[in-house]
Amino acid sequence: MGETPAVRDHVETASGLLLRRWAGLDALPVMSAFADPLMRGQSEEAIDSRDAAERWISGWTERWDAGSAFAFAVVDGGGVVLGNVAVGAVDRRHATGWVSYWTTSAARGRGVASQACRALARWAFDDAELFRLELGHRVNNPASCRVAAAAGFAVEGLQRQKLEYDDVRYDVELHARLASDEEPSVR
């Protein structure tokens, strides 16, 4: 099994976005992001206090240090947090990982998630030495599907009734991108 390689803790994009490790100073922006009703269910714990936000950040820090997951705050040129992109469930034996992302309500519809996801994928292939990245989204979330497609993730299939929210089961569309895939064109 491969060891975790040394990885960069920040990535600059051509569009001016910066991906950087989450830090303690981000607790208030994290708490604000999770106050959005669309973010409900995006964390195992409700992020409804500064302490909860700090635990969320600390959890990512621990997983980063262990080499099992890597999360980046997506910030604009002024340092404003616009979202999160992460690769988790890193399996060194098979060089795979699971991609997730979210944006703040102010950043939605601006291509932030797609740009950040493209940059994260390149980082995961080049720095973290992964070969295959997967992601999934509920089929009733077309915006997330557009992000996946714009970031070069091909549709691979449907996972029937994989997720449950409020006693309702949802199908999930699975996407994947390989290190050997062509780089997606910037839209």
In 72-171, where does DSSP find H-type helix? 112-126, 142-150
SS3 10: strand
pLDDT in tens, 125-160: 999 999 999 999 999 999 999 999 999 999 999 999
pLDDT value of residue 187: 60
Cβ neighbours for 76, distance < 8 A, ≥ 6 positions apart: 16, 17, 18, 82
Read off the pTM. 0.94
- Provide the CA 122 distance to its chain's centre, in angstroms: 13
pLDDT in tens, 54-65: 999 999 999 999
pLDDT at 1 over 60: no
How many C-beta atoms surround the C-beta of residue 114 within 10 A? Answer: 22
Between the CA of residue 111 and those of 58, 145, 149, what are the distances in Å?
28, 13, 12
pLDDT value of residue 67: 95
CA–CA dist 75, 154 (Å, integer)? 26
